[in-house]
Structure 1
């Protein structure tokens, strides 16, 4: 099997390519390749430039915040070419593992979201925490009410299935660099997601007892690259960008537009 062409200048992704020798082959050009872009700075411009150069797919490593209009442009691209996002506190393989482990009828009546991070990481950490709430609720979420003062916020979200989602977010200088989050879904099966800056623990509790899901040892860069290669080979659409926008809009409403 011929490996998919990959252009990656970031060292962690070069390592990931070395770990996938039969799936990915390093190339210098962008045309027809999976192109990895750095998520710091104006990554949406770099992603658009990669597509302009003929990229078959783009992987964004740890995307920072992006303007809504920039995401609009990229969403049009995502309809014909995969855009894979490496979100450090919302690992795709962990999301899949949770979906496989939970009953299809989870339907939590309430969820709680707690998020603490250094000031410069709070928006991204809260965005990923909301992403977990969306995953566990099984439906998109909407903003209902909130307050924000002194770097701390309280908010009430609600899922389309009418599940209440309470959110506590605060800056914390001593938190891990990526932030710390905890999400609890209350249903017949209780689900707890606890991520201490990349050290992820997921547990479920039901009538038979409490179980902890196996830890994920595959590095997030390898997960993202593997997904991109698979999406290109199978011409598979991914929802990463739409999900990012959903989560980022809610995080922005909590941190910037909440009102007493």
Structure 2
């Protein structure tokens, strides 16, 4: 198997590369490589620049807030170049496991979101909590009504299948850096997601009883890198940018901000 070239300056991704020695090799330049960019600052511009430089795929490490219009422009300009987003509170492997726990067809009746974080992390924590609700509902959400003032708020969202999502969001100075999330999806199988600053626990309850899903021990950087490798080698489509834009727009609407 030919190793996939990876270009990164981030120590966390160098560690992930060392854990995948037979699958990746360090690249001197960007052309033809999986390029990892830091998600702080104007990361969307760095991701676009990597795409222009010929990157085979781009991984954005922990993407911070971005204007919704910038995400749309990035998606249009990068074209067929896969953009993989490492969202530590919306891990792709954990999301897939939770979604698989719901029987098909998915008939979600209701979902609750509880989100607490420090003020500077609240919009990103809420963004990822909304992402969980979107995945568990199996379809996009829209905001019906919401209010946010003095550091706390309530919101009611819905899907086109009449599933209702209620959200409680509040600033909490003592919360972990990433924030605290709790999502409960009510269907034939109840799915519970608890994330305390990256310490994730998932459980399901159905007619046979309650069980806790296996903990995810693989680090999110390695998960993101593996996804990028698979996207390059197998030509898999990824919808990370569109999903982030969906979640960010709703988070911004709830918080009354133009940037989420």
> 1: CA distance between counterparts of 2:146 and 2:244?
21
- Residue 233 and residue 77 in structure 1: after superposition, are their counterparts in 2 closer, same or farther (change >3 A)? farther
SS in structure 2 at match of 1:120: coil
> 2: CA distance between counterparts of 1:206 and 1:180?
25
Q: What's the CA shift for 1:99?
A: 2.4
Q: What's the CA shift for 1:256?
A: 0.8
The match for 1:33 is 33
The match for 1:205 is 205
**2:57–2:232 contact (8 Å) kept in structure 1:** yes
Deviation per residue, 1:146-170 (Å, 9 max, x gap): 1111011100000121101100111
> 2: CA distance between counterparts of 1:176 and 1:46?
28
> 1: CA distance between counterparts of 2:37 and 2:106?
36
Deviation per residue, 1:96-123 (Å, 9 max, x gap): 1122232113312111000000111000
Deviation per residue, 1:60-95 (Å, 9 max, x gap): 000011112211121124541100000010000001
Structure 2 length-normalised TM: 0.97
The match for 2:125 is 125
**2:48–2:78 contact (8 Å) kept in structure 1:** no
Q: How does 1:223-238 map to 2 (within 5 A)?
A: 223-238=223-238
> 2: CA distance between counterparts of 1:254 and 1:69?
17
Cα root mean square deviation, aligned = 1.2
Where does structure 1 lack aligned partners over 5 or more consecutive residues?
none
Where does structure 2 lack aligned partners over 5 or more consecutive residues?
none
| 78-87 or 130-139, larger mean C-alpha shift | 78-87
Q: How does 1:110-259 map to 2 (within 5 A)?
A: 110-256=110-256
Number of residue pairs matched?
A: 258
The match for 1:7 is 7
> 2: CA distance between counterparts of 1:101 and 1:78?
33
The match for 1:67 is 67
- Residue 11 and residue 114 in structure 1: after superposition, are their counterparts in 2 closer, same or farther (change >3 A)? same
SS in structure 2 at match of 1:6: strand
Q: What's the CA shift for 1:23?
A: 1.1
**2:59–2:225 contact (8 Å) kept in structure 1:** yes
Any runs of at least 4 consecutive aligned residues in structure 1 with deviations exceeding 3 A, and if so which? none
SS in structure 1 at match of 2:245: helix
> 2: CA distance between counterparts of 1:78 and 1:131?
23
